[in-house]
Copies of this chain bind each other. A is one copy, B any other.
Amino acid sequence: MIRSELLTGVLPVAPTIFTADEELDLPGLRRVCDYLVDAGVAGICILANYSEQFSLSDEERRAVLQTTMEQVAGRVPVCVTTSHFSARMAADRCREAAERGADLVMMMPPFFGASLRVGAPGVIDYFERVADGLQIPIMIQDAPMSPTALPAELIVELATKIAGIRYAKIEVPQTAAKIAALSRYPDVLPGIFDGEEAVTLIPDLQSGAVGTMSSVLAVRELTSIMAHWTAGGQDRAEQEWEALLPLLHYENRQCGLAAAKAVLAAGGVIADGRTRTPYPQLAPATRDTLISMARKRDLFALRWAA
């Protein structure tokens, strides 16, 4: 039996916080959790690519999971990214997340590097193995970074064959069209999200998305947009989103995953906004423009700790 109340709304990716010498900053992560709960998010996703999961050891992943579950303490649902090339390893990570109290797991299909990809029958077998015995639902992550392709037909087949797959996060070019194709199967795949810093949010909601997996940069503002949208205030939602879009677009196109940390550090939520080497730090001028755009919009992230 899979727990099945549908999660909708803003489910941001919490960045992994590091100290100035690149050690895990777990107290910083706790502050991020509190900031997110206060911002009114629908849930929190950890250990995703925006969390620099590719820069962590297995032991550090466990520390992030345990710290997050402790700090969130059931106040909102937690989604844990458990991607690994090996089905066995991914299944172990899912089991551990569920045992720690996670509400949801997210996974990319299996791949390694630019060229080690897996065909459709292998992808189906992979998710069947991972879902076997798992008591919490699965979100499939469809990201362009994976050389293993997930055409809409394969996502529908996966969700049809595997009861645990209830969510898909779509963050590829022409997201809205893919979401529209997937939203024709609400019985098997009710939980369609977009990603990519919510930079395509309104077209994706119009196509059937029920939420967004943004960064933590503008979560209070995105929560307001989602609230208007679901209350029938589509025009107001669109207006607010269009006002926010230049900032989200600057994050998405000019900053990458260094953006949210830079704003959290500027707002005093965390002590240091650095990424782990070799992921590039923000150039000072880029950071200044980002913070200036965030201040202009009086972001909650800059006010929360003040």
In the complex formed, the residue of B with least CB distance to A145 is B113
Given A56-B86, A114-B115, 17 other A-B residues pairs in contact with their CB atoms under 8 A: A22-B88, A55-B88, A55-B89, A56-B89, A57-B58, A57-B92, A86-B276, A87-B278, A88-B276, A110-B278, A111-B113, A113-B113, A113-B146, A114-B144, A114-B145, A114-B147, A125-B277
Residues of B within 8 A of A146 (CB): 113-114
In the complex formed, the residue of B with least CB distance to A146 is B113
Residues of B within 8 A of A126 (CB): 277-278
- A123 and B277 CA atoms in complex are apart in Å by 10
Q: Is B86 a contact partner of A277 (Cβ separation < 8 A)? A: yes
Please count how many residues in chain A sit with their CB below 8 Å of the partner chain's CB atoms: 37
- A57 and B82 CA atoms in complex are apart in Å by 12
A98 within 8 A of partner (CB): no
Q: Is A112 a contact partner of B277 (Cβ separation < 8 A)? A: no
Q: Is A277 a contact partner of B129 (Cβ separation < 8 A)? A: yes
Within the complex, which residue of B55, B114, B115, B122 is in contact with A85, where a contact is CB–CB below 8 Å?
Answer: B55
Q: Is A59 a contact partner of B57 (Cβ separation < 8 A)? A: no
> Closest CB-CB distance, A54 to chain B, in whole Å?
4
A280 within 8 A of partner (CB): yes
A116 within 8 A of partner (CB): yes
> Closest CB-CB distance, A286 to chain B, in whole Å?
15
- A49 and B84 CA atoms in complex are apart in Å by 15
> Closest CB-CB distance, A257 to chain B, in whole Å?
10
Given contacts A22-B88, A111-B113, A113-B145, contact A278 B58 (CB under 8 A): no
Please encode chain A, from 135 to 153, with 1 for each CB lying within 8 Å of some chain B CB and 0 for all others. 0000000011111000000
Given contacts A58-B58, A114-B111, contact A88 B277 (CB under 8 A): yes
- A88 and B52 CA atoms in complex are apart in Å by 13
In the complex formed, the residue of B with least CB distance to A122 is B278
A265 within 8 A of partner (CB): no
> Closest CB-CB distance, A69 to chain B, in whole Å?
21
A245 within 8 A of partner (CB): no
A118 within 8 A of partner (CB): yes
Q: Is B116 a contact partner of A54 (Cβ separation < 8 A)? A: yes
Of the A-B pairs whose beta carbons lie under 8 Å apart in the complex, a sample of 21, sorted by A's number, is A22-B88, A54-B86, A54-B112, A54-B116, A55-B86, A57-B58, A58-B58, A86-B278, A87-B277, A87-B278, A88-B277, A111-B113, A113-B113, A113-B114, A113-B143, A113-B147, A114-B146, A114-B147, A115-B145, A123-B278, A125-B278
Q: Is A116 a contact partner of B87 (Cβ separation < 8 A)? A: no
> Closest CB-CB distance, A9 to chain B, in whole Å?
28
Which residues A246-297 have CB closer than 8 A to chain B?
A: 276-278, 280
